[in-house]
Amino acid sequence: MGVPSPTRGAGTADTVGRMATTSVVTKKRHAWTTTVFIKQLMAVSGLFFVLFLLFHSYGNLKMFLGQEAYDHYAEWLKVDAFYPIFPKGGFIWVFRAAMILMLIIHVAAAAITWKRSRRARRSRYVVKKNAADSYAARTMRVTAVLLLLLIIFHILHFTTGTIRTGFIADSTPYERMIASFQEPWVVIVYLVFVGAACLHVAHGFWSAFQSLGWVRGGTRQFMVVLSGIIGGLIFVMFMAPPLAIAFGIIG
Ligand code: HEM
């Protein structure tokens, strides 16, 4: 009694041995599988999307210049952009391919980082993060899931026109915008969509610079404020046309 059987004893020794191996010997990682590199991938792909959002929200402000200006801008993007460097209609497809690649990198890097930090949190050697950090991390996960769902809705809505809100298949981009944002529920869906995107940017922007090693003690506060400003700016630029349509200022 109390004496371990040879099998149990061997099992225990084996377990202890394995524990010793995992805690003492650090698994050799290739440079591209280190957490630092994966976070840098997340940072670079995220910054690509911040630039896209700045460009997209600024472009949508052309709604204030009237139908001709907006439809011309939409046509330029889809057909003429960077012609003759790209063939007519070529740039948008290169850009779409880049967006898909960046999205895959961003989501995969986020999933790997999240999995690793969960595993690390289970280990008692890890120092607990402060409440603000875990609140930001939770916000990032919630807004990320919301964003992915709403991006699917958005593409089915405006790009493919599969979901039609008061417009017909032949409507121009300007007419689609006007018809859509005359419906209050569409304005609310876009408030949630843009709100999620901007909250994500407000944290993600400075966090990206931190992952790239460009945030030092003295610049941290500045970067946090700058991120908030960029998130707020994107929110105002995106929501100005829908709200102007909803309140009858344009259309
Ligand atoms: C009020 C907010 C927004 C409005 C009014 C808006 C409007 C539009 C419109 C009209 C198009 C279609 C252009 C066309 O095919 O003619 C479009 C495409 C797109 N938008 Fe937005 N957008 C908004 C916010 C966002 C946000 C927050 C994101 C990302 C998080 C986003 C991502 C995209 C993407 C990925 C496309 C597809 C581009 C393509 O491949 O054709 N949009 N948007």
User: Domain boundaries in the chain?
Assistant: 30-246
Alpha helices by DSSP H, the chain = 6-24, 35-60, 67-75, 90-122, 131-154, 173-180, 184-211, 217-246
Does 76 contact ligand 1 (Cβ within 6 A)? no
Specify the fold of 30-246: 3 helical TM bundles of succinate and fumarate reductases (1.20.1300)
Integer CA distances (angstroms), 66 to 17, 88, 91, 178, 250, in order: 72, 25, 25, 11, 8
What is the pLDDT, as a whole number, of residue 239? 98
Does 149 contact ligand 1 (Cβ within 6 A)? no
**Distance (Å, rounded) from C-alpha 14 to C-alpha 173?**
66
The token duo for 31 is 């440079």
pTM over 0.85: yes
Does 238 contact ligand 1 (Cβ within 6 A)? yes
Does 158 contact ligand 1 (Cβ within 6 A)? yes
How do the pLDDT tens digits run along the chain, 251 residues long? 333 444 444 444 444 444 444 455 566 678 888 999 999 999 999 999 999 999 999 999 999 999 999 999 999 999 999 999 999 999 999 999 999 999 999 999 999 999 998 888 777 555 556 676 778 888 999 999 999 999 999 999 999 999 999 999 999 999 999 999 999 999 999 999 999 999 999 999 999 999 999 998 889 999 999 999 999 999 999 999 999 999 999 98
The token duo for 95 is 């850009």
154 alpha carbon to ligand 1 midpoint, in Å? 6
52 alpha carbon to ligand 1 midpoint, in Å? 10
41 alpha carbon to ligand 1 midpoint, in Å? 24
Does 221 contact ligand 1 (Cβ within 6 A)? no
Residue whose CA is at the smallest distance from ligand 1 atom 23: 238
Give the length of the chain: 251
For the CA of 173, the closest atom of ligand 1 is 16
What is the pLDDT, as a whole number, of residue 135? 81
The answer to whether the beta carbons of residues 218 and 244 sit under 8 Å apart is: no
136 alpha carbon to ligand 1 midpoint, in Å? 26
Does 154 contact ligand 1 (Cβ within 6 A)? yes
244 alpha carbon to ligand 1 midpoint, in Å? 17
157 alpha carbon to ligand 1 midpoint, in Å? 9
Does 190 contact ligand 1 (Cβ within 6 A)? yes
35 alpha carbon to ligand 1 midpoint, in Å? 32
